[in-house]
């Protein structure tokens, strides 16, 4: 992703509609901003979630804010102060000993990664990403070749198209599967259009 990008996803849980979310990516002269907004209907309780990451030119977070509203409100606000050598949050001060990542900067790092195994430090632990064999995903507008990464701990899969856009997320929650699948893409200054229409325009140009 190299230009302003807005991606909209349909959510499902155990095969049932579970809401929708939007991922916004904005490159700036001195770094990047990513924001995810989601209305999640399942699993209960229903929640509204907002995640935002402000990153430097390397894609390393300067600040990460996560807000979840449901039966109450939970807020996580972290500042990554590399020059001062600390990570600061409410009731939290950690030494800045490595370049930490957050869930959104992790997506950006994976979109750029061309190797087989990537380990990134997070506040509270590490994420290990393993490249799996490429897959061909089927969307209403056609088939999309995708790079696939498996994330651990936990069991999550992230799929990227050839432009480096995350087109699908899969996460095992208990006995069920939670998925987010792309339904619309908006890039640059043009008006939003369904990914189906974008695929048709690309096919016409190749003829």
pLDDT in tens, 70-129: 989 999 999 999 999 999 999 889 999 999 999 999 999 999 999 999 999 999 899 999
Break the chain into its structural domains and give their ranges: 5-206
pTM of the model: 0.88
Alpha-carbon distance of 67 to 184, in angstroms, equals: 24
Q: Tens digits of per-residue pLDDT, 25-61?
A: 999 999 999 999 999 999 999 999 999 999 999 999 9
- Across-strand partners of 33? 26, 54
Mean pLDDT of all residues in 169-190: 90
What does the DSSP 8-state code read for residue 191?
A: P
Query: Does residue 205 have a pLDDT over 70?
Result: no
Question: CB count, 10 Å around CB of 141?
Answer: 16
170 Cβ contact partners less than 8 Å away, ≥ 6 residues apart:
156, 157, 158, 159, 177, 178, 179
Which candidate, 131, 179, 126, places its Cα nearest to that of 154? 126
């Amino acid at each position: 992703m190299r230009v302003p990008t807005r991606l909209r996803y349909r959510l499902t849980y155990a095969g049932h509609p579970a809401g929708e979310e939007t991922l916004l990516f904005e490159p700036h002269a001195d770094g990047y901003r990513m924001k995810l907004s989601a209305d999640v209907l399942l699993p209960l309780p229903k929640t509204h979630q907002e995640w935002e990451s402000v990153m430097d030119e390397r894609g390393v977070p300067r600040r990460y804010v996560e807000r979840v509203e449901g039966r109450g409100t939970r807020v996580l606000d972290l500042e990554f102060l590399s020059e001062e050598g600390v990570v600061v949050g409410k009731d939290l001060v950690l030494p800045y000993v490595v370049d930490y990542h957050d869930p959104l900067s992790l997506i950006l790092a994976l979109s750029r990664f061309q190797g087989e195994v990537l380990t990134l430090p997070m506040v509270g632990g590490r994420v290990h990403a393993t490249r799996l064999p490429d897959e061909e995903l089927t969307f209403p507008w056609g088939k999309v070749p995708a790079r696939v990464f498996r994330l651990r701990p936990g069991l999550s899969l992230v799929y990227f198209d050839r432009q480096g856009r995350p087109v699908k997320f899969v996460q095992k929650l208990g006995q069920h599967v939670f998925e987010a699948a792309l339904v619309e893409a908006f890039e640059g200054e043009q008006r939003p259009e369904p990914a189906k229409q974008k695929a048709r325009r690309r096919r016409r140009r190749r003829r």
